[in-house]
Structure 1
Amino acid sequence: MNSLRNSARLVGRLGMDPEVKTFDTNKKLTKLSLATSDSYKNDKGERITDTQWHNLVIWGAQAQLAEDLLHKGDEIAIEGRINNRSYTDKVGNKKYTTEIVVNEFIKLGAKA
């Protein structure tokens, strides 16, 4: 049951090519943005599409695979955990961000 705690599973399309950073220890970090969409009809019968953007972070061997295989517009499925963190920007302002640290991903298809 512990695997259900802080677990996120999403299917969507990539909004950018992988942004890769390699550290001194040769450890890799890949950042991506993922769009997920929901559609519904409003009270007037009009179809409304609601798109949410998610920041993805992938580490290690999975980061290398993401760099090699993924491109903007690809449809992927991911499983990971939600991570909230804060940092101080270049001007000294404290910023907060939410990201999904990806454990696994599957490339489902290319952009139609």
Structure 2
Amino acid sequence: MARTFNKVILIGNLGRDPESRTLPSGAKVTEFSVATSESYNTRGGEKVEQTTWFRAEAWERLSDIASQYLKKGDQVYLEGRLRMEEYTDRDGNTRTALRLRVTDMNLMGGRPEEGGYSQGSQAAPAAAPAEARRPSAPAQAPSSFASNNDDDDLPF
């Protein structure tokens, strides 16, 4: 039997505030939409921006973290399994959507107006669980990596 693998990594922005609910079984799930964008120039020189929307669902502990810390517009790093989902819209048309079942999540930026962490800070708010914290980054590059615009010294 051949092995298969389904792992997706997304860095995108939330399109709406997360919505949480508890199922009759007692399981907690939080759903939110995430947009990724790419831009390119056509042969005619016209700049085109293309946005792809994903529906994300976080379960149990990640559901708690998502509902507590994520807000519309936040940038987030997500890992999970992707699947195509079909549904019928309000007008009766069959639509498809990409749904991501989140297995790992990291907050990428903060809301400065709330005094929170920002793109350049090293950690999430003190109350954030370990799963929601961003990995820390060095404050500045070591002196051996200082940029002096001399590409001749590169080892590769």
TM-score by length of 1: 0.82
Q: Residue 69 of structure 1 aligns with which residue?
A: 69
1:60 aligns with 2:60: yes
Structure showing greater radius of gyration is 2
More strand, by proportion: 1
Distance 2:12 2:94 in 1: 30
After the TM superposition, list the runs of 4 or more consecutive aligned residues in structure 1 that deviate by more than 4 angstroms.
Answer: 85-89, 93-97
Q: Residue 31 of structure 1 aligns with which residue?
A: 31
Measured on the aligned residues, the alpha-carbon RMSD in Å equals: 2.6
Give the share of equivalent positions with the same residue, in percent: 34
Q: Residue 47 of structure 2 aligns with which residue?
A: 47
Distance 1:16 1:88 in 2: 21
Q: Taking CA–CA contacts closer than 8 Å with sequence separation of 6 or more, which of the two structures ends up with the larger relative contact order? A: 1
Q: Residue 109 of structure 1 aligns with which residue?
A: 109
For structure 2, the residue ranges without an aligned partner over 5 or more in a row are: 113-156
Distance 2:39 2:95 in 1: 31
Q: Which secondary structure state, in structure 2, belongs to the residue aligned with residue 66 of structure 1? A: helix
By how many angstroms is 1:79 displaced?
0.3
For structure 1, the residue ranges without an aligned partner over 5 or more in a row are: none
By how many angstroms is 1:51 displaced?
0.4
TM-score by length of 2: 0.60
Contact 1:75 1:111 in 2 (8 A): no
Contact 1:18 1:71 in 2 (8 A): yes
Matches within 5 A, 1:88-103: 97-103=97-103
Q: Which moved more, 1:61-70 or 1:96-105?
A: 96-105
